[in-house]
Chain A
Amino acid sequence: MPNVKSPKTKKKKSRANVTAETMAAGQRDISVSEFFAKNRHLLGFDNPRKAMLTAIKEAVDNALDAAEEAGILPEIYVEVMQQSETRFKLTIRDNGPGIVKAQIENIFGKLLYGSKFHRLKMSRGQQGIGISAAGMYGLMTTGKPVMIISKTGKKKPAHEVVLKMDTSKNRPTIISDEEHPEDDKLFKDGHGTQVVIELEGKYQKGRQSIDEYLEQTAIANPHATITYVTPSNETIEFPRAINELPEEPKEIKPHPKGIELGTLIQMLERTDAKQLSGFLTGDFCRVGSTKAREIAKGAGLTGQTWVKTIGHDDAERLYDSIQNTRIIAPNTDCLVPIGSKALLAGLLKEVQAEFFAASTRPPSVYRGNPFQIEVAIGYGGGLGRDDSAKVLRFANRVPLLYSQSSCCSFKAVAETSWKNYGLTQPRNSIPTGPLVVMVHMISVWVPFTSESKEAIADYDEIRKEMKLALQECGRKLGTYLRRRKRMAREGERRSVFERYIGEISRSCNAITGTDTDKLYKALMKQAKRKTEEADALLDDEGNPVDDGGRLSKDEDVIIVDDLQDIPEMQDSLFEDGKKKKKSTKKKKKKTTRKRAKK
């Protein structure tokens, strides 16, 4: 970490009697853990409230990853126990495959230790910093070690390990390590892991709270069951909505266009391949022997060139050649989106809206990394009508709660022109109205703006895909809103006509003697037809509006309420008296909803 070193040197330089030798005495290795212990804000432990959330988040992410990888439907238990005003004890338990005893100390006691960093595979965790950093934070603020209990199988004993991290060495210090007797109560499935961390924290509900995080996690992981025990000892259940595990994502090799020169040189040094052709086809995806020859030729080399003879200049030419060669985009079967159906299921159980739409984009590529965007929206119902829309951001199924405005997803929502879909939107801002927008980015490598994984970096390719997905959902919403508005209007029209038809038939009857009933029925029939005809009219843009049937047949759309329940939108011809009536009706509805929720 050169930037840590340099201030020291500077200081000493100002003094006259300092020599290179005395300076050398103060120069030494800095362990990663030491660095992050001092710069814990980089990992998301800037303040007590956020620190506690980050700790839970890291543990839950790991738990979900582990269970999914082992093909187990995840069941997560989260407990936050308040011990004093600022001290909390967190317990996170999963039903995952467990961790073998030898690895426990490394995973929980070492920063940057893990399976996820070196591979290109879609997973929640990426760096292997998270959970050990949480333990480190707990140790620093309370002095208490981390306790891990893990069981890997029914017949195998559970291990209880208590450990501390030695930050100066980035190594764990084991305090105790023994077989845990009462395992069956903890792990019903016979396997799983439990972590207990004590730390300094602050519990507060509302935005960016643990509650919010778990709620959103439940939306993005409808296949998981989450049980949450709050500090006030309330138990909140987020039940499973889908009994199917998402497909196991495939691991992929890097794409040639996705690496930088330094990485290329490193890969050349480390490869097992002897010849360039073998290196290119074996260590990258999407490179066959023809492509390999083409790349080599472009760099003035051949496929038979020995890898060991490739020097720095050659590597640079090779890098340029890669950039100039057309290579097909990476396979995208490494991406497993939540899927529109599951997304809607997740949103439906956590958001009180009346209209839901989802859209999953085909996979795309940024910087050689495949990625995919999913968007879902919820509109109306019990959502706040006057607030700004709520944007729920996810990356690889993990909710992102902080740094909203610097996130690519948020920008994409603000850049989408929602006015076209019948919503109000202040300039350069997200729309207002009863709207929840969920944006999910899936990738083998999500480009976060920092290690604390709070916001997605703003790549044009990513933002473009997000906007396309948002627009697709927006169009569906627009169709729905227009249709709803029109139906309200037509209903009103019909009632206007109906009101007068009686009078007209009676008058006609009085003048001409035509049968009143017959006339009335004929006119009513016509009124009905007229208003139905108008239902099939063209929309504002002149396109035929698809009828209700098509929208509700759309698999990516869920419409919850009957139309009668939504009077708010219609441009009313009614007199004040009627309007009032309707609004009271609405209020009533809201209260019943609340009750139902409880």
Chain B
Amino acid sequence: MAKKKTTKKKTTRKTNRVVDKKRDEKTKKKIEALAESVATKALKQKEPNFEIPTRSISNMKYNKKKRILEMGSNTQTRSLFNLGQARKFMQSLLLAKGCRDLIDAEKTLSLRGMYYMSLHTIPGTKEKTFNDQGESDGILEDLEVSLDGLREELHVFAKKRGTMVGNISIVDNGDEIDCRRMGTGGYAIPSICEPNVIQFKDCDADFILHVEKDTVWSRFNEDRFWEKHNCILTEGSGQPPRGVRRMLHRMHKELKLPVYCLLDCDPWGHYIYSVIKQGSINLAFESERMAIPDAQFLGIRANDYERCELSDDVKIDLNDRDITRAKQIAAYPWFEGKRDWQREIKTMLGNGFKMEVESLITKDISYVTEEYVPSRLKEGDFLD
């Protein structure tokens, strides 16, 4: 039931979709190989299992040359005849089947749609195949790594998040979109930004300014910052989703645009920068396609409180968790050797407070767009 409903909705949305038949065949083969191995092992009375690369910090390597996070070679075996893994094993196969059905139907589904598609009660019990969407999301990520196929290759996408506006026009699934004429809302960056869906048409921008959240982005958009400074303005609603990161990566690589980040002065903001630059721990297998090692950190800086003569009201005390997190970040191998960053985190800890980008509004409504960012860009005062 759920399956029919969701797919119908999707068909109306997507009309002249571009399907990468070749890539789909490849993904299908991988899924079939997985199921085939389970079936063969079962019929031969061997224990059915498959390997999943470990997605944890222990299996993470920082590639100093490429300056990105990479996944190590550790794998864990998921087998049916293990009490702790039996359920996950079953779920993996259910979702693998779901993905194959999607590819066959040449349709895509959201993570939530995928959850509903494979959700049912196991016959003869009261147990459901999935307890919540979180469970299926985790298994899908496992599937991605073990099949060595990305989410989009499995025809699954995440909820849209993140906005874009600026001196560029793109083609999204065949529709031309001029990002200079997006009004106040901006262009919603889709979850899948692969070249078969999105192509860049013409771009006059000189750089990309990525801000942490929507409120700051609106300020910049209203002040037509991108027009004045000839750039592209993006926003990722906190930790940017894969779509935004992929979009940034592609614009950076294909259009040779430098990326500057305007984030909060707190461990959270620092980590967002780290994810944009080096990739995330959880999705290290995608770093190659997502990380932007040349991204620069524009602000807010810990010394801005004095430099910009901000009022006391903008201070937010660091709590214990912030302090531990900041120390953790400072100890990451990709921050460890950077003296500027070590000093930055030290200054923040010394201050004992954090600051949000919005704190600059206390100076003047448009201080951030008219003074702060332009002068940083002019001075070239960034953290690497």
A contact residues vs B (CB 8 Å cutoff): 493, 496-497, 499-504, 507-508, 510-512, 514, 518-519, 522-523, 525-527, 529-530, 573, 577
5 residue pairs bridging A and B, Cβ less than 8 Å apart: A499-B124, A503-B90, A508-B39, A510-B97, A526-B45
Give 7 new A-B contacts, CB below 8 A, not counting A512-B32, A522-B42.
Answer: A497-B81, A503-B90, A504-B90, A507-B90, A508-B42, A511-B34, A526-B47
Asked if B122 lies at the interface with its beta carbon under 8 angstroms from chain A, I say: yes
Query: In the assembled complex, which residues on chain A have CB atoms less than 8 Å from the CB atom of B38?
Result: 504, 508
B42 near A507 (CB under 8 angstroms)?
Answer: no
Chain B positions 90 through 130: 1 when the CB is less than 8 Å from some CB of chain A, otherwise 0? 10011011001100000000000000000000111111010
- By size class, the interface of chain B is 20 to 34
- What separation, in Å, do the CA atoms of A499 and B129 have in the docked complex? 10
B335 within 8 A of A: no
Complexed CA–CA distance, A522 and B40 (Å): 10
Which 3 A-B pairs rank lowest in CB-CB distance, beginning with the nearest? A511-B35, A500-B90, A507-B93
Bound-state CA distance A530–B101 (Å) is 32
**How far, in angstroms, from A512 to B101 measured CA to CA in the complex?**
12
Assess whether B316 is interfacial by the CB under 8 Å rule.
no
CB pair A519 B123 closer than 8 Å = no
A487 shortest CB reach to chain B, Å: 15
On whether the beta carbons of B35 and A496 are closer than 8 Å, the reply is no
Closest to A492 in B: B83
Q: Are B43 and A522 in contact (CB under 8 A)?
A: yes
> CA A331 – CA B80 in complex, angstroms?
63
Closest CB of chain B to A184's CB: distance in Å?
71
Q: Output the least CB separation between A87 and chain B (Å).
A: 66
- A503–B81 touching, CB < 8 Å: no
Chain B residues 55 to 95 lying within 8 A of chain A, measured CB to CB, are 80-81, 83, 86-87, 89-90, 93-94
Asked whether, in the complex, the Cβ of B122 is within 8 Å of the Cβ of A573, the reply is no
Known: A500-B80, A504-B93, A573-B83. A519 touches B39 (CB 8 A): yes
B81 touches A511 (CB 8 A): no
Q: Are B45 and A522 in contact (CB under 8 A)?
A: yes
Within 8 Å CB of B364, what residues of A? none
Contacts of B81 in A (CB 8 A): 497, 526-527, 530
Residues of B within 8 A of A526 (CB): 42, 45, 47, 81
Bound-complex Cα distance A518 to B40 (A) = 11
A512 adjacent to B80 (CB under 8 Å): no
Give the residue of B42, B83, B93 whose beta carbon is less than 8 angstroms from that of A496: B83
Q: Are B42 and A519 in contact (CB under 8 A)?
A: yes
B24-42, CB < 8 A from A: 31-32, 34-36, 38-39, 42
Contact (A503, B35) CB under 8 Å given A508-B93, A511-B100, A527-B81: no
Residues of A within 8 A of B39 (CB): 508, 512, 514, 519
Closest residue on chain A to residue B47 by CB atoms: A526
Asked if residues B31 and A500 are in contact (CB atoms below 8 Å), the reply is no
How distant is A521 from chain B, measured CB to nearest CB, in Å? Answer: 10
Give bound CA distance, A512 to B34, whole Å: 9
Among A497, A511, A519, A577, chain B packs the most CB atoms within 10 A around the CB of: A511
B139 to chain A, nearest CB (A): 13
Q: Is B48 an interface residue (CB 8 A)?
A: yes
Residue of B nearest to A514 (CB): B39
Give the secondary structure class of B's interface: helix
Tell me which residues across on chain B come within 8 A of A501, comparing CB atoms. 80
Q: Distance in Å from the Cβ of A528 to the closest Cβ of chain B?
A: 11
- Residue with the greatest number of chain A CB neighbours at <10 A, chosen from B36, B42, B48, B124: B42
How far is it, in angstroms, between the C-alpha of A510 and the C-alpha of B94 when the chains are bound? 10
Least CB distance from A251 to B in Å reads 63
The answer to whether B35 and A525 have CB atoms under 8 Å apart is no
B45 touches A525 (CB 8 A): yes
- The closest CB in chain A to the CB of B87 belongs to A500
Q: How far is the CA of A508 from the CA of B36 in the complex (A)?
A: 7
Q: Which of B31, B36, B43, B45 has the largest count of A CB atoms less than 10 A from its CB?
A: B43
Least CB distance, A495 to chain B, in whole angstroms? 9
Specify which chain B residues have a CB less than 8 angstroms from the CB of A573 in the assembled complex: 83
Q: Which residues of A are found within 8 Å of B126, using beta-carbon distances?
A: 577
Determine which of A500, A511, A518, A519 lies in contact with B97 in the assembled complex, contact meaning CB atoms within 8 Å: A511
Name the A residues within 8 Å of B42 (CB-CB).
508, 519, 522-523, 526
Write out, one digit per residue, whether chain B residues 311-323 have a CB within 8 A of any chain A CB (1) or not (0). 0000000000000
Chain B residues closer than 8 Å to A510, beta-carbon distance: 97, 100-101
Is the pair A503, B86 in contact by a Cβ cutoff of 8 Å? no
Provide the bound-state CA to CA distance between A530 and B45, in Å.
Answer: 11
Bound CA span A187–B381, Å: 118
Report the minimum CB–CB distance from A499 to chain B (whole Å). 6
Q: B34: nearest residue on chain A (CB-CB)?
A: A511
Nearest-Cβ distance from residue A517 to partner chain B, whole angstroms: 12
Q: Which residue from chain A places its CB closest to the CB of B100 in the assembled complex? A: A511
Closest to B39 in A: A514
Min CB gap B93→A, angstroms: 4
B125 with A499: CB separation less than 8 A: yes
Looking at B39, B87, B129, the one whose CB has the most chain A CB atoms below 10 A away is B39
On whether the beta carbons of B35 and A512 are closer than 8 Å, the reply is yes
A522 to B42: give the CA distance in the assembly, Å. Answer: 6
Could you tell me the distance between the alpha carbons of A497 and B38 in the complex, rounded to whole angstroms?
A: 15
Cβ contact within 8 Å between A511 and B96: yes
Determine whether the beta carbon of B127 is less than 8 Å from that of A499: yes
Given contacts A511-B100, A514-B39, is CB(A502)–CB(B122) below 8 Å?
Answer: yes
> In the complex the two chains form, is B122's CB within 8 Å of A519's CB?
no
- List chain B residues, Cβ under 8 A from A493: 83
Q: Give B121 Cβ to nearest chain A Cβ, in Å.
A: 11
Closest residue of chain B to A523 (Cβ to Cβ) is B42
Instruction: Give A347 to B39 CA distance when docked, in angstroms.
Output: 54
Q: Which residues B145-176 have CB closer than 8 A to chain A? A: none
- A504 contact set on B, CB distance < 8 A: 38, 48, 80, 89-90, 93
**What are the residues of chain A within 8 A of B101 when measuring CB–CB?**
510
Contacts of A511 in B (CB 8 A): 31-32, 34-36, 96-97, 100
Q: Are A519 and B43 in contact (CB under 8 A)?
A: yes
Q: Is the CB of B89 within 8 A of A502?
A: no
Q: A499 CA to B83 CA in the complex, in Å?
A: 12
**B46 vs chain A, min Cβ distance (A):** 8
Contacts of B122 in A (CB 8 A): 499-500, 502-503
